[in-house]
Amino acid sequence: MAMANIDYDFLMKFLALGDSGVGKTSFLYQYTDGQFHSQFISTVGIDFREKRLIYTYRGRNHRIHLQLWDTAGQERFRSLTTAFYRDAMGFLLIFDLTNEKSFLEISNWLEQLRMHAYSEDPDVVLCGNKCDLEAVRAVSHEQVRALSDRYSLPYIETSACTGFNIRQAVEMLVERVMLRMENVATNSELSRLMTQTRCMPNINLPSSGGNTVRLGYRDMELTEEQQRSRNCKC
């Protein structure tokens, strides 16, 4: 087996969802600093990019290989393959703050998620994108709060254009999935997914190079330099 290729502790697959035009591709592009190795799988119509992270928790470093899946425009035709939802461990549910319709569609996307995802209650971070366009904002804070309360979704406003909160949004989702994994004994479905994907690097991973990013969720207030020294084992 190709097990020797796995030099990470967890493979996490996240899916960016939302109406066409809300900025999903730009969001993922911004997150990967425009340096992604985009790989398009034409049979399922899925585009994905990858990034390495170090997640620090209770003094231990976990190497995370993050796969970010993009719908590659198939949502324009209202035809999302279920392959999309099935293997994803977390969802970035994105709407456009300047487009009310994209916000109203969020309930429908959640419905789809509940139907097709590995769990009826998967980890989701709701992102209001294009927050740099305050002058043409069409969705009020109250509207969003009512929705995020109703579905108990964490909410963050982002701008794929300026990069504002993009990294924070992804990190919120990483953290939620990691927290869920701690209770993995009580969550057999996620456990099955994690085991399956760790044994199945079914897609050729590009060599990761030097673009690993260090994260420390309990150390959010520290600078990257300080994080590095704290994470250092020596």
The reply to whether 21 sits near other proteins by the rule CB under 8 A is yes
The reply to whether 104 sits near other proteins by the rule CB under 8 A is no
CA distance linking residue 53 with residue 185, whole number of Å: 24
Residue with tokens 């085991």: 195
Residue from the set 44, 133, 205, 213 that interacts with other proteins by CB under 8 A = 44
x/- binding map, residues 82-101, to other proteins, per CB under 8 A? xx--x---------------
Length of the chain as a residue count:
234
For residue 141, what are the contacts with CB-CB under 8 A and spacing of at least 6?
none
> What is the smallest separation between the CB atom of 206 and other proteins, expressed in angstroms?
17
The reply to whether 78 sits near other proteins by the rule CB under 8 A is yes
Residue from the set 79, 152, 204, 207 that interacts with other proteins by CB under 8 A = 79
CA distance linking residue 175 with residue 172, whole number of Å: 5
Given a contact cutoff of 8 angstroms between Cβ atoms, the answer to whether 215 and 177 are in contact is: no
The reply to whether 204 sits near other proteins by the rule CB under 8 A is no
Residue from the set 12, 16, 72, 127 that interacts with other proteins by CB under 8 A = 72
Phi/psi-derived region of residue 105, left when phi > 0, alpha when psi is between -120 and 50, beta in every other case: alpha
- Cα dist from 115 to 78, 85, 199, whole Å: 16, 9, 26
Q: Which stretch binds other proteins (CB under 8 A): 19-27, 56-64, 103-111, 191-199?
A: 19-27
Kindly determine how many residues on this chain lie close enough to bind other proteins according to the rule CB under 8 A. Answer: 24
| Cβ neighbourhood burial of 91 (10 Å; 0-12, 13-18, 19+) | buried
The reply to whether 77 sits near other proteins by the rule CB under 8 A is yes
> What is the smallest separation between the CB atom of 86 and other proteins, expressed in angstroms?
8
How much of the chain is helix, strand and coil, in % rounded to 5? Answer: 40, 25, 40
> What is the smallest separation between the CB atom of 146 and other proteins, expressed in angstroms?
26
The reply to whether 196 sits near other proteins by the rule CB under 8 A is no
Binding residues for other proteins, per CB under 8 A? 19-21, 25, 40-47, 72-74, 76-79, 81-83, 86, 202
